[in-house]
Structure 1
């Protein structure tokens, strides 16, 4: 236990040192004009002064000084966001500030409505004749290759993996283990939604599906949470017979909240 405590204390010390350097360098790269302030008098060092950052963030000068010195003080999400705005931090820098301050990083801005890049579309096409799809954190289908349409029965009206799982009759009929897998699929979606309880898009998916699928509404009411336990996807294709696939899910780093699902055939 003492070893664990020592490592934890060392990790906090390192984070505080990095927090000190990070805030100083972010402050040094800005000029008063960058943030709408009038520069008065000669400045001995480049960048904003601590009191200017504190004023822009709406926090006390002493408190901000302690934060920049890397002292072990309590910080809130609201204050960190205010400091992020004052220092004109980018989204990755904002998340980095959270980590250094010992707070869970904020969820990255969703890419809802963003265009799928040609590079991602080419990757999906290159995976053919194996199925592949691109979805977002809400399980919305962003792109599907021809093999996924043929093998899994996705059509032009399919726009969300979870909704299609319950409402696409062709997909349900082809899924060998639909009834046994359905509860774990719902539990996995609840686990994803729990990461963003204030995100209305998750609620919209649940409400839309509950309105048309009593089966889903009943499973959702169980409040089960987990991850899919089935590592092999089995479908019964009307022409090719039973097909089995290993599924690998890859995060798209350039678009937080986007995921590639790649399916590789395997022997039953």
Structure 2
């Protein structure tokens, strides 16, 4: 079964392969032909039968008890984010959830907010598509223009890669967050299209995707190497719009009084603002 038809099995297998026998307290004897732990070793350490665990990985049993899940999570060293993701994979998926998701549209009030902010700001959906951005965000990175996709740029655009001196850790974070955002909705056509494109075009993405890491993006400093400003560090904050995680408002802001604040002010003074409302008006005038 593929990840699309058996996401639970794919997840368990990937996480099992990342746990070494030493981490699990199993002495290594002879040559091991598989990475990480064997199925029967996971079953033994979790206190369940090898046949039961095999049925879980093969998608023949999709309703394990919470006690079983907690035992497996302990053996596989799953942290809080990874365990939460495991629970989404065993939950019942309604037929509505499998339908093509409707295209999310940012509320007009939030679009005005983005334009009014004096810091780089933009709105992204769960696939990291850019749905709106202010002029300073686009000056910081052309990849933040409406219609762009941050994942595609990070893995396939050399200019965007050069913007991130810590590119490897940034890509790890984005891929792990995509896993969390999509959850068990692996049949989503947009999700399949994006991950398929990146898997074919980027060895780095394939490597990270196969690990099944799950991590929420939280407020964190991010380093950039801007072609005009040089190196600067900005704080990256993500705020849910409308009480859900379907749309996120992302704001980059410097520490007050820092050289990074001076550099950002310099970028803002050289930038000619065009609001989201103005761009929407121009688009309407073309019809």
- Under TM normalisation by the shorter chain, which class is it? 0.5 to 0.7
1:180 alignment counterpart: 169
Kept in 1, the 8 Å contact 2:104–2:125? The answer is no
- Paired with 1:156 and 1:191, the residues of 2 have a C-alpha distance of 24
Identify the match of residue 113 of structure 2 among 123, 130, 134.
Answer: 123
Structure 2 SS opposite 1:154: helix
2:208 alignment counterpart: 219
- Is it true that 1:194 corresponds to 2:183 in the alignment? yes
TM-score normalised by the chain length of structure 2: 0.50
Identify the match of residue 253 of structure 1 among 230, 239, 242.
Answer: 242
- Paired with 2:180 and 2:155, the residues of 1 have a C-alpha distance of 18
1:231 alignment counterpart: 220
Structure of greater Rg: 1
Kept in 2, the 8 Å contact 1:148–1:154? The answer is no
- Paired with 1:157 and 1:132, the residues of 2 have a C-alpha distance of 12
2:152 alignment counterpart: 163
Please list every run of at least 4 consecutive aligned residues from structure 1 whose deviation after the TM superposition is greater than 4 angstroms.
103-112, 155-158
Kept in 2, the 8 Å contact 1:177–1:234? The answer is yes
Please give the per-residue CA displacement for 1:185-242, whole angstroms capped at 9, x wherever unaligned.
2112112222423323222210122222222112212222223477111111122122
- Give aligned pairs, total: 165
Kept in 1, the 8 Å contact 2:241–2:249? The answer is yes
Kept in 2, the 8 Å contact 1:141–1:160? The answer is yes
Q: 1:223 to 1:191 in 2, by over 3 A?
A: same
Kept in 2, the 8 Å contact 1:167–1:213? The answer is yes
Please give the per-residue CA displacement for 1:144-197, whole angstroms capped at 9, x wherever unaligned.
211111112326685212112212222210112112332232112112222423
Structure 2 SS opposite 1:162: helix
Deviation at 1:260, TM superposition (A): 0.6
Kept in 1, the 8 Å contact 2:132–2:146? The answer is no
- Paired with 1:220 and 1:163, the residues of 2 have a C-alpha distance of 14
Kept in 1, the 8 Å contact 2:122–2:250? The answer is yes
Structure 2 SS opposite 1:159: coil
